[in-house]
């Protein structure tokens, strides 16, 4: 057999999420972020290191980000890993032809799902009752971003990104080891660096954007949705916390392949991360409170050093719940995978 070809949540919650996005964005757009007065000194220093194609606006954006970090605390403190990641992004953005890591990039060579992966939709699509998926497969994610504009109106940066997540039945040679599912996720967003504090946490980055996600298939296998989202990232020492609410963009009923997707993926997710001696521990929860812990999901991740080689880490990821992929959005998954990570959240 050849490899397969590709071809509601509550109204109240949507209104609450929209209200939260508007209120917080109003705060981050307020002028007067308290940048240090020695902006020109910073720009002069960075100008000596920049390439000939670097613009004044790009230098100003980099220096403003660095100085917000320095001025946000009364006493010098160690720069959090998340802030170092943002600084590295700013520096790389000044280089031409630059693609940067967006979400974690990893390859899980072995992923076991004790609940099993359903082949029902594939049997119907291809009219072949012999299609059966194994409980063990490989999964990988490739996620890249590129800056489209820096320090626009002296206020925000503009980014675009693409994330590809694939689910590969590599251990199923009897059905030609197909890609069971591939999710494509292009997005674009505006990013702000406010630098204010709340309960000891620094708000190091805020964003508002639009994202499309689909699996590029037709017929009963087709899945897609579009969202407007915000993202708020806070850091304290080696700990980071992210809150990402979203609102689904409505589609015509005849074009909607998954009208109940927000019943399973909800309207927001929470992420947390902690870095300790080169180890990064992450956690994600989504739709648990909204669904009464009936249709939610949580994910745990651990990336760890592999000897002294700095560009590759071991990676273990555990997921339980709904929405692991678009094709599985309404199916329960309980799986664990092990492999390598090229880039994590820090």
| Residue 265: closest CA among 319, 217, 186, 325 | 325
- Give the residue carrying structure tokens 């100003």: 60
DSSP structure class, residue 9 = -
CA distance 257 to 215: 11
User: Could you tell me if 200 and 72 are in contact, meaning their C-beta atoms sit under 8 angstroms apart?
Assistant: no
Task: Establish whether 214 is a catalytic residue.
Answer: yes
**37 catalytic residue (yes or no):** no
The one catalytic residue in 212, 277, 279, 332 is 212
**Number of Cα atoms under 13 Å in the Cβ half of residue 42:** 19
Of the listed 214, 222, 277, 279, which one is catalytic?
214
Q: Which helix (H) or strand (E) holds 117?
A: none
> What string of DSSP letters covers 43-97?
HHHHHTTS-TT--HHHHHHHHHHHHHHHHTSSS--PPPHHHHHHHHHHHHHTSTT
333-343 and 105-113 strand pairing: antiparallel
Residue pair 164/141 in contact (Cβ under 8 Å)? The answer is yes
**146 in Cβ contact with 158 (< 8 Å):** no
Q: Which residues are catalytic?
A: 212, 214
């Amino acid at each position: 057999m050849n490899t397969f070809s590709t071809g509601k949540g509550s109204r109240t919650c949507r209104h609450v999420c929209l209200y939260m996005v508007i209120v917080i964005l109003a705060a981050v757009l307020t002028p007067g972020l308290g940048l240090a007065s020695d902006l020109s000194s910073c720009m002069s220093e960075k100008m000596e290191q920049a390439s000939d194609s670097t613009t004044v606006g790009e230098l100003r954006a980099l220096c403003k980000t660095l100085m917000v970090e320095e001025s946000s605390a009364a006493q010098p403190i160690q720069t959090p890993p998340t802030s170092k990641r943002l600084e590295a992004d700013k520096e790389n953005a000044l280089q031409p032809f630059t693609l940067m890591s967006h979400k974690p990039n990893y390859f899980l060579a072995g992923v076991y799902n004790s609940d099993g992966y359903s082949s029902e939709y594939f049997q119907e699509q291809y009219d072949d009752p012999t299609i059966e998926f194994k409980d063990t497969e490989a999964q990988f994610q490739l996620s890249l971003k590129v800056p489209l504009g820096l320090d626009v109106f002296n206020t925000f940066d503009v980014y675009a990104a693409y994330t590809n997540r694939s689910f590969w039945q590599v251990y199923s040679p009897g059905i030609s080891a197909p890609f069971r599912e591939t999710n494509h996720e292009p997005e674009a967003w505006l990013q702000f660096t406010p630098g204010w504090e709340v309960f000891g946490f620094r708000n190091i980055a805020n964003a508002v954007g639009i994202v499309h996600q689909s699996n590029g298939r037709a017929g009963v296998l087709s899945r897609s949705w579009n969202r407007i989202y915000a993202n708020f990232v806070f850091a304290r020492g080696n700990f980071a916390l992210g809150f990402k609410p979203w609102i689904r963009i409505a589609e015509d009923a005849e074009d909607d392949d998954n009208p109940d997707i927000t019943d399973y993926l909800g309207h927001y997710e929470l992420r947390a991360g902690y870095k300790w001696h080169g180890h990064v521990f992450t956690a994600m929860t989504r739709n648990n409170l909204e669904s009464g812990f009936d249709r939610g999901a949580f994910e745990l991740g651990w990336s760890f050093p592999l000897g002294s080689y700095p560009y590759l880490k071991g990676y273990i990821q555990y997921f339980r719940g709904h929405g692991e992929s678009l094709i599985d959005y309404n199916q329960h998954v309980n799986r664990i995978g092990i492999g390598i990570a090229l880039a994590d959240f820090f």
